[in-house]
């Protein structure tokens, strides 16, 4: 049998060049940006993979702006992404979960037209126990005429994202990406050191019998949330007439990755404990990029009432309730909340 070039796997580099040249979805700067983020994710994957041997487990002994204890890997991943992205000339500024304020591009480097916002290490509580963690990122355009982007420049609704993605550091390392035209998955070939395209146009099944939620918060939930989950738990004999299964990794990246692969609904609702904060997950670097990806894969994402991507952010680290995944379940859970609000 003769091998043909067309059967050869496509690298992320080739995929991006073709997106630029053939479909014109991206320009050279955005291509560079994605390549640089992917390279940084490879470095993070190496540190995650070395675990205790790399001396990267445990707490860094510091807190971030949100009062969360930073793990060594949170800090290291943040530094890797900053260092990789500062000098390429493709960015106007960066912002991250681990930094109080946006990080300007040092004056010695050229500036570009994009803003990058990221959760450098998602699922921090899983680092020390060898469970999948990830990196989430979102790309926005710097507003026209803004030379020194501050927090305000980042406060754009998710509909303005030009690209979003995540890396999941699991049994294999994967990069899942949208440039606003479907969702594509790449698997890291560790020998070659390249991300290879392993799935084009991922689609989320509209129906599912699997849900992901931290059930330990049930007593703090609002009534419509409790109603939705109680109906699922009632199984075959209940109003839904079917059995549902539950999964909760506690790394949003891993839970969303499962949903992209085999369907499901992921919920981090508002509850009495976190009501003052507005939710648990952060709008700009968790909810928005994941909602963009999920919508691009045919799924749905709301805050329980409205489409997440249309929320106009008020602050960089704003939190929101998140309902995302298989369309028909997200629609139902959202409907229960809307009905309760209009009573
Ligand atoms: P991060 O590690 O970036 O702070 O994010 C953790 C988030 C998210 O990944 C996950 O879905 C959720 O927190 C887990 O929350 P519980 O601790 O309530 O399970
Ligand atoms: Mn996170
Ligand atoms: Mn994080």
Digit-by-digit pLDDT tens for the chain (343 residues) are: 444 445 788 999 999 999 999 988 899 999 999 999 999 999 999 999 999 998 889 998 899 888 888 999 999 999 999 999 999 999 999 999 999 999 999 999 999 999 999 999 999 999 999 999 999 999 999 999 999 999 999 999 999 999 999 999 999 999 999 999 999 999 999 999 999 999 999 999 999 999 999 999 999 999 999 999 999 999 999 999 999 999 999 999 999 999 999 999 999 999 999 999 999 999 999 999 999 999 999 999 999 999 999 999 999 999 999 999 999 999 999 999 999 998 8
Q: Are 34 and 41 in contact (CB under 8 A)?
A: no
DSSP 100: S
Distance CA 44, CA 74 (A): 10
Tell me, using a 6 A CB cutoff, whether residue 125 lines ligand 1: yes
For CA atoms 111, 25, 291, 265, give the dihedral sign: negative
* Closest ligand to the CA of 255: 1
Nearest residue to 133 via CA among 257, 261, 34: 257
Query: Kindly report the CA angle at 44 between 43 and 49, in degrees rounded to 5?
Result: 100
For CA atoms 286, 291, 294, 300, give the dihedral sign: positive
Domain with CATH 3.30.540.10 in the chain: 2-201
Nearest residue to 99 via CA among 33, 159, 150: 150
Q: How far apart are the first and last CA of the chain?
A: 68
Spatial strand order of the sheet with 210-212 comes to 245-246, 210-212, 265-268, 322-325, 300-302
Our measurement of the distance from residue 111's CA atom to the centroid of its chain's CA atoms, rounded to an integer in Å, reads 25
Say which residues have a Cβ less than 8 Å from residue 335's Cβ, sequence separation at least 6. Answer: none
Helix 288-296 to helix 252-262 angle (10° resolution) is 10
Tell me, using a 6 A CB cutoff, whether residue 242 lines ligand 1: no
Tell me, using a 6 A CB cutoff, whether residue 66 lines ligand 1: no
| 124 Cα to the center of ligand 3, angstroms | 6
Q: Using most ligand atoms within 8 A of CB, pick from 69, 77, 267, 268 the residue to mutate for ligand 1.
A: 268
Nearest Cα residue to atom 18 of ligand 1: 214
Number of the ligand 1 atom closest to the C-alpha atom of 68 = 4
Distance CA 179, CA 159 (A): 12
Distance CA 143, CA 61 (A): 36
Tell me, using a 6 A CB cutoff, whether residue 120 lines ligand 1: no
Q: What's the CATH fold of domain 2-201?
A: Fructose-1,6-Bisphosphatase; Chain A, domain 1 (3.30.540)
Token code pair at residue 38:
């992917």
Token code pair at residue 329:
């379940």
Tell me, using a 6 A CB cutoff, whether residue 123 lines ligand 1: yes
- CATH for the stretch 210-342: 3.40.190.80
Tell me, using a 6 A CB cutoff, whether residue 98 lines ligand 1: no
Number of the ligand 1 atom closest to the C-alpha atom of 124 = 2
Domain with CATH 3.40.190.80 in the chain: 210-342
């Amino acid at each position: 049998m003769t091998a043909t070039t067309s059967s050869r796997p496509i690298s992320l580099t080739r995929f991006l060049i073709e997106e630029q040249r053939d479909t014109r979805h991206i320009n050279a700067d955005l291509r560079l940006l994605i390549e640089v983020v992917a390279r940084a994710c490879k470095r993070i994957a190496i540190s995650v993979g070395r675990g205790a041997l790399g001396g990267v487990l445990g707490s860094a002994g510091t807190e971030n702006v949100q009062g969360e204890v930073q793990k060594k890997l949170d800090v290291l991943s943040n530094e890797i992404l900053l260092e990789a992205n500062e000098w390429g000339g493709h960015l106007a500024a960066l912002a991250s979960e681990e930094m109080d304020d946006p990080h300007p591009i040092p004056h010695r480097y050229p500036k570009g037209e994009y803003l990058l916002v990221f959760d450098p290490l998602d699922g921090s509580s899983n680092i020390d126990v060898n469970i999948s963690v990830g990196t989430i990122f979102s790309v926005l355009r710097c507003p026209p005429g803004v030379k020194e982007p501050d927090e305000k420049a980042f406060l754009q609704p998710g509909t303005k994202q030009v690209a979003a993605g995540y890396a999941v550091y699991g049994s294999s390392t994967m990069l899942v990406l949208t440039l606003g035209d479907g969702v594509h998955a790449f698997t890291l070939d560790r020998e070659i050191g390249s991300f290879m395209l392993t799935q084009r146009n991922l689609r989320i099944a509209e129906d599912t019998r699997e849900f992901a939620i931290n059930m330990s918060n049930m007593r703090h939930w609002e009534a419509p949330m409790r109603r939705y989950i109680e109906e699922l738990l009632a199984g075959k004999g209940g109003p839904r007439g079917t059995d549902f299964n539950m999964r909760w990794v506690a790394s949003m990246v891993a839970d969303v990755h499962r949903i992209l692969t085999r369907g499901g609904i992921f919920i981090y609702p508002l509850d009495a404990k976190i009501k003052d904060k507005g939710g648990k997950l952060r709008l700009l670097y968790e909810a928005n990029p994941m909602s963009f990806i999920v919508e691009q894969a045919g799924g749905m994402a709301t805050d329980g009432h409205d489409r997440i991507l249309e929320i106009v952010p008020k602050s960089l680290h704003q939190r929101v309730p998140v309902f995302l995944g298989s369309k028909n379940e997200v629609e139902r859970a959202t409907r229960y909340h809307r009905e309760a609000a209009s009573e």
